[in-house]
Amino acid sequence: MSGFYKEMIAQNCIIEIEALHTRFGQLVVHRDINLCVHYHEVLTLVGGSGSGKTTLLRQMLGLERPSKGNIRVFGASRCDCDFDLLRNIRNRSGVLFQQGALFSALSVFDNVALPLRELRTLDERMIRDLVMFKLDMVAIGSQHANKMPANLSGGMVKRVALARALALDPELLFLDEPTAGLDPELSEGFVKLILALRAEMNLTIVMVTHDLETLSALSNRIAVLADQQIVAIGNLQDIRHHQHPFINSFFKTV
Ligand SMILES: Nc1ncnc2c1ncn2[C@@H]1O[C@H](COP(=O)(O)OP(=O)(O)OP(=O)(O)O)[C@@H](O)[C@H]1O
C-alpha cells in the first residue's frame, strides 16, 4: 500500500482522489488533483465556469474516467472493472442532477421506485411502502404520487428527485447545483430539507454550487477549482481570506 493510501485511510476518507489529470483533446481541465472527502462531511466544489467541477463530480460517480490518476470510493478503486464492486458503489451512492432529471414518461411514484425495482430483490408491496416513506421524508404528499413530472412545480421536482436519490438509503450523496432555478424562499426550504435528511441519514455529501447562500448553509469544507487545480480547501472562514482572483470575486459579497 502506497504512503498516499495509508494517509487517506488515516484521514478517514470516503472518497480519495490521487494525482488526477483530465484532458479533452488539447484542453487540460484538471492537473494533479488530490482530494479526500471525509466521512459525514459536506464538501462543496466551487470554481468558475468550465473549471471542471461537474467533470470531477461525474468522475467520482464513475460516469467518466480521468485521463490519469485514481479515484477510490469506499476504499475501492473506480478503475477496477469488477462489476459487483461497481454496482456496490453505485447502490451506496445517490445523486441529484441539476434540473432534477426525472424521467418525464414516469410518474412520481415510478421515478422513485426505479432504483428499488432495479435491485430485483423487492416485491411490489415492499417497493410501495418504501416509495411512500421516501416521498413523506421529502414532504411530498401521497396525493402527488401518480402525477407526471410535467405537472409538478420546480420545487416539487427537486424534492421528488431527492427522494429518488435517497431511495436506496445511500451513505454518499452527490448534489449538482441543488438549488439552481429555485426562488430564494424555495431554495432556503430545500437547503433545510437537505440539512435535516443529512442528519437523519448520516450522509456524506459532495456538492457543486454557484449559490453563496447554499454554500454557506450546507458546507463543512469548500474546495476551490481554478487554474486546473484545487487552489484552496478549507472551511468558509479559511477560504474567504485566501488570495486568488476567483476567490476574491466569488466571496466579495460574503
Ligand atoms: N465530454 C467532453 N468533451 C469535451 N470537452 C468537455 C467534455 N466535458 C466537459 N468538457 C469541457 O471541460 C471543461 C470543464 O467542464 P465542466 O462541465 O466540468 O465545468 P464546470 O466547472 O462544471 O462548468 P459550469 O460551472 O459552467 O457548469 C469545459 O471547458 C467543457 O467544455
What sign results for the dihedral spanned by CA atoms 32, 61, 237, 180?
A: positive
Determine the Cα–Cα distance for residues 189 and 45; give it in Å rounded to an integer.
21
| Per-residue model confidence (pLDDT) at position 78 | 67
Q: How many domains are there within the chain?
A: 1
The whole-number mean pLDDT for each consecutive block of 10 residues of the chain, a chain of 254 residues, reads: 50 91 96 96 95 94 90 78 72 84 93 93 93 94 95 92 94 94 90 93 95 94 96 93 90 68
Mutation choice for ligand 1 from 53, 176, 208, 211, CB with most ligand atoms inside 8 A: 53
Determine the Cα–Cα distance for residues 38 and 218; give it in Å rounded to an integer.
15
State the distance from the centre of ligand 1 to the C-alpha of 70, rounded, in angstroms. Answer: 20
Has residue 159 been placed in a domain? yes
Grid cell, residue 242, equals 485566501
The protein residue with its alpha carbon nearest to ligand 1, atom 4, reads 24
Q: Do residues 198 and 174 lie in contact, with contact meaning Cβ atoms separated by under 8 Å?
A: no
Mutation choice for ligand 1 from 24, 63, 64, 99, CB with most ligand atoms inside 8 A: 24
Give the ligand 1 atom nearest the CA of 51: 21
Has residue 147 been placed in a domain? yes
> Which region holds residue 175: left if phi is over 0, alpha if psi is between -120 and 50, else beta?
beta
Mutation choice for ligand 1 from 28, 45, 51, CB with most ligand atoms inside 8 A: 51
Has residue 109 been placed in a domain? yes
Has residue 107 been placed in a domain? yes
76-91 pLDDT, tens digit each = 776 665 677 777 777 8
State the distance from the centre of ligand 1 to the C-alpha of 52, rounded, in angstroms. Answer: 6
Q: Do residues 222 and 23 lie in contact, with contact meaning Cβ atoms separated by under 8 Å?
A: no
221 DSSP β-pair partners: 43
Give the ligand 1 atom nearest the CA of 56: 18
* Structural domain boundaries enclosing 159: 102-169
**H helix intervals, 78-137:** 83-91, 108-118, 124-137
Q: What CA–CA distances, in Å, run from 144 to 104, 141, 152, 173, 178?
A: 15, 6, 9, 24, 21
Q: What is the pTM of this model?
A: 0.91
Has residue 30 been placed in a domain? no
Determine the Cα–Cα distance for residues 77 and 181; give it in Å rounded to an integer.
35
101-149 pLDDT, tens digit each = 799 999 999 999 999 999 888 899 999 999 999 999 999 999 999 999 9
| Per-residue model confidence (pLDDT) at position 88 | 77
Has residue 198 been placed in a domain? no
Has residue 132 been placed in a domain? yes
145 contact partners, CB below 8 Å, separation of at least 6: 107, 108, 109, 131, 132, 135
| Per-residue model confidence (pLDDT) at position 216 | 94
Has residue 123 been placed in a domain? yes
Grid cell, residue 241, equals 481570506
